[in-house]
Amino acid sequence: MKTVIVLAAHGSPPRDMPRAELAEFFTLHARLESSPVSHSPALESRYEELADQVKRWPRTPQNDPFHAATYELARKLGAETGLEVEVGFNEFCSPDVGEAIAAAAGGGAGKIVVITTMLTRGGEHAERDIARAVEEARRRWPGVNIVYAWPFDTDEIVRFLAGHVGRFVQDAA
């Protein structure tokens, strides 16, 4: 059975997107997210248009170093595990997590392991958004074993962080 990893990262807006359009996007995002009442179709349409523009903006290491670093992490994770890795972003970038899962399922994966770069509990994206994308994918591909490898074990995170800090402590001595 082919196993594929989906690396779910946050995403960030591109640095070279026009500021006026980015400001409008964030203003509309806040307005639509903060109010449970329905909004005009024109307002929602404009928001979707801007959201799509942000997601599909051409990315380079210069205009989106986070995007480039996520793909570098995916390449290294694939080399380390020997598994194919698809990247999906929670927001601001394409493909989104659902699209990455779809690419893995469409590519013949029998098992998909979704893992996020967001390590700590309490975050809306890891706890709700990515989990929701995984649940939707499970309904869409009932024959594919889709696992969300989250939450992370706190002790494992502590050991990782302590090891990293240790290198800096040794350098300072």
Q: For residue 130, what pLDDT is reported?
A: 97
Q: For residue 170, what pLDDT is reported?
A: 76
Judge contact between 115 and 149, C-beta under 8 A. Answer: yes
Q: For residue 173, what pLDDT is reported?
A: 58
CA distances (Å), origin 53, targets 14, 56, 130? 10, 5, 22
**From CA 93, how far away is CA 14, in angstroms rounded?**
9
The residue type of 161 is L
Q: Could you say which residues of the chain have pLDDT below 50? A: none
**From CA 136, how far away is CA 102, in angstroms rounded?**
10
Q: For residue 55, what pLDDT is reported?
A: 96
pTM higher than 0.75 for the full model? yes
- Cis previous bond, 142, omega within 30: no
